[in-house]
């Protein structure tokens, strides 16, 4: 009867805390060379895996390595039937568990590797997928010795150890298994078996890849294409996850006032976004002068949408252009958008709103204390040069 395949995974901080590092450090994405170190050699000594079965024949070890092309690393696989190890020094002989010995800070990494040599059953260089059919023992652990080349920083994201040993040769007539003394057929079939196992594992992960809360960051752009999100690279990972989770709701109100506001508020992470349309002020009984003023501020066409945002949310020209690109894909096809950045100054007959970008009484009287400076103010007319200086974001339409 075929035994169920099990596995151990190292991909969490709690796993790294039970392991040992030299010239390497870890975060939630994996472990890599320490940024503060000048040495080019790093060592990782994993925690101990307990299969809970004597004389366990291990199956496979798979490493998820990023940016490791050309960066050499060596993997040593250790196995043992006993969980304890004897440590001898000049004064006494100490017996402790292998797990305790691995995280023992008083012993250097070189001494640990030297003391663990008798347990080493397999040594491989530069492989991210290796069979462990020759490794036997209830307890298994491994070490990775990596070397950093100039301009390359290798990163180990996830490491998975599969057990017990499984081979497709067991599905063939017994004569094939008994005559395969050199294990050639077994190793040959393992190529296709590994491909098959990896494909099955990816198929099982499909529900997690389609869930915006659990999928990997690199899949978010792919999912964005499904719901028509253009230029998804302009959104941060967290904003993108929220946007995709609200995609069905936003699609129903796309092109409406509410839909435009919700997308902008999500993109800027603020509720202080203002949208003005012509019908809002056209209903009022305005004088000719006020109508001309409103048309200069918000446009003459009924298809012009004016978006007002604070300067703190759009601090540079780059952010301004990015927001314009977002707006271009959420407004109705026949509409034009006018994006105005509200500065914290008062300009008469311009975009100044009480309580929004201007506050009465916010300036203190000048005093000769060495701390006061002449505040920014414009009274009366202003020349074209000064005007263009402070209105570089205004009157830009898509």
Query: Which residues are within 8 A (CB) of 66 and not within 5 positions of it... i.e. 6 or more apart?
Result: 30, 154, 155, 156, 157
Q: For residues 70 and 64, give the distance between their C-alpha atoms in angstroms, rounded to a whole number.
A: 15
Nearest Cα neighbor of 232 from 216, 218, 221 is: 221
Q: What φ, ψ does residue 208 adopt, rounded to 5°?
A: -75, -30
User: Rounded to whole angstroms, what are the CA distances from 28 to 31, 41, 146, 219?
Assistant: 8, 22, 20, 18
Q: For residues 46 and 65, give the distance between their C-alpha atoms in angstroms, rounded to a whole number.
A: 16
Please count the residues of the chain: 398
Pairing of strands 30-33, 24-27: antiparallel
Q: What percent of the chain has pLDDT over 90?
A: 29
Q: What is the pLDDT of residues 91-134, one digit of tens each?
A: 667 788 999 999 999 889 999 999 999 999 999 998 888 889 88
Q: What is the pLDDT of residues 157-185, one digit of tens each?
A: 999 999 998 888 877 888 887 777 777 88
Least confident piece of the model among 84-93, 203-212, 299-308: 84-93
Q: For residues 175 and 254, give the distance between their C-alpha atoms in angstroms, rounded to a whole number.
A: 67
Give me the pLDDT at residue 135, please: 93
**320, two tokens:** 């301004």
| Beta-bridge mates of residue 347 | none
Give me the pLDDT at residue 392, please: 47
pLDDT of 398 > 80? The answer is no
Least confident piece of the model among 110-119, 301-310, 373-382: 373-382
| Architecture of the structural domain at 6-166 | Sandwich (2.60)
Which of 91-95, 159-163, 310-314, 352-356 has maximum average pLDDT? 159-163
Q: Is 338 helix (H, G, I), strand (E, B) or coil?
A: strand
User: Rounded to whole angstroms, what are the CA distances from 117 to 54, 94, 232?
Assistant: 21, 18, 50
pLDDT of 234 > 80? The answer is yes
Give me the pLDDT at residue 183, please: 76
Q: What does the longest C-alpha to C-alpha distance in the chain come to?
A: 102
Q: For residues 77 and 144, give the distance between their C-alpha atoms in angstroms, rounded to a whole number.
A: 9
What are the helix (H) ranges across the chain? 13-17, 98-102, 109-115, 174-179, 184-204, 206-209, 217-226, 237-245, 247-252, 257-268, 278-282, 288-298, 317-328, 384-390
Confidence of residue 1 (pLDDT cuts 50, 70, 90): very low
pLDDT, the chain, mean: 82
pLDDT of 260 > 70? The answer is yes
**59, two tokens:** 């199956």
Confidence of residue 397 (pLDDT cuts 50, 70, 90): very low
Q: For residues 23 and 32, give the distance between their C-alpha atoms in angstroms, rounded to a whole number.
A: 9
Indicate the pTM of the whole model: 0.61
Q: For residues 9 and 64, give the distance between their C-alpha atoms in angstroms, rounded to a whole number.
A: 11
Q: What percent of the chain has pLDDT over 70?
A: 84
pLDDT of 376 > 70? The answer is no
Confidence of residue 365 (pLDDT cuts 50, 70, 90): low
Nearest Cα neighbor of 146 from 40, 10, 52 is: 40
Query: Which residues are within 8 A (CB) of 12 and not within 5 positions of it... i.e. 6 or more apart?
Result: none
Domain boundaries, the chain: 6-166, 253-397
């Amino acid at each position: 009867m075929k035994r169920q395949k099990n596995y151990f995974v190292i991909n969490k901080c709690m796993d790294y805390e039970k392991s040992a590092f030299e010239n390497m450090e870890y975060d939630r994405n994996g472990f890599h060379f320490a940024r503060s170190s000048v040495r080019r050699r790093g060592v990782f000594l994993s925690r101990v895996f307990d299969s809970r079965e004597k004389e366990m024949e291990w199956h496979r070890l798979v490493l998820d390595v990023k940016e490791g092309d050309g960066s050499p690393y060596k993997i040593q696989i250790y196995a043992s039937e006993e969980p304890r190890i004897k440590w001898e020094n000049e004064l006494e002989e100490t017996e402790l568990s292998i797990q305790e010995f691995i995280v023992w800070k008083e012993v250097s990494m070189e001494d640990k590797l030297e003391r663990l040599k008798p347990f080493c059953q397999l040594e491989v260089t530069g492989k991210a997928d290796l069979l462990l059919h020759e490794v036997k023992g209830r307890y298994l652990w491994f070490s990775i010795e990596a070397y950093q080349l100039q301009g390359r920083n290798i990163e180990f994201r996830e490491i998975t150890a599969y057990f017990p040993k499984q081979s497709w040769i067991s599905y063939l007539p017994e004569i094939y298994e008994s005559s395969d003394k050199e294990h050639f057929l077994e190793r040959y079939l393992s190529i296709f078996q590994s491909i098959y196992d990896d494909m099955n594992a990816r198929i099982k992960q499909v529900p997690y890849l389609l869930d915006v809360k659990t999928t990997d960051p690199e899949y978010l752009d792919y999912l964005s294409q499904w719901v028509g999100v253009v230029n998804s690279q302009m959104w941060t990972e967290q904003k993108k996850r929220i946007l995709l989770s609200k995609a069905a709701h936003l699609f129903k109100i796309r092109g409406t006032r509410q839909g435009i506001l919700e997308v902008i508020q999500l993109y800027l992470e603020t509720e202080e976004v203002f949208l003005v349309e012509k019908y809002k002020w056209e209903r009022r009984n305005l004088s000719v002068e006020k109508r001309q003023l409103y048309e200069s501020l918000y446009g003459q066409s009924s298809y012009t949408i004016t978006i007002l945002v604070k300067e703190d949310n759009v601090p540079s020209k780059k952010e301004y252009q990015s927001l314009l690109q977002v707006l271009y894909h959420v407004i109705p096809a026949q509409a034009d958008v006018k994006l105005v950045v509200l500065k914290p100054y008062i300009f008469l007959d311009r975009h100044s709103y009480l309580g929004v970008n201007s506050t009465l009484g916010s300036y203190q009287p000048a005093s000769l204390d060495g701390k006061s400076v002449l505040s920014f103010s414009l009274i009366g007319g202003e020349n074209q040069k000064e005007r263009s200086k402070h209105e570089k974001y205004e009157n830009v339409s898509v």
